[in-house]
Structure 1
Amino acid sequence: MATWKTLMLQDSASPLMEQLLFFHDHALLILVLITILVGQMLLSMLFNKW
């Protein structure tokens, strides 16, 4: 059941929805890691003193 200040989605009602939530969590983690990696590369190129 959804409540105020809930950080995640509601509990799943079917096994398919449970797998979809599992995929969502892992895809979001991968996207965050890629974003951090690209940001780090951009900052290193910006502050590179050649």
Structure 2
Amino acid sequence: MNYDQLAKEILSRVGSIESVTSIVHCVTRLRFQLKDEGLSKTEWLRQE
């Protein structure tokens, strides 16, 4: 999977780009602030 596909997959799993308030990264993590965390599929995101 290339980075563009991975980014689209991650955004679809957090709800959509509209539900993202902010994103911060560190070495091993992406940290999302979401408007509605109920839309995210966190179990999938934690597996990856």
TM above 0.5 = no
Indicate the structure whose relative CO is greater, using CA pairs within 8 Å and at least 6 residues apart: 2
TM-score by length of 1: 0.30
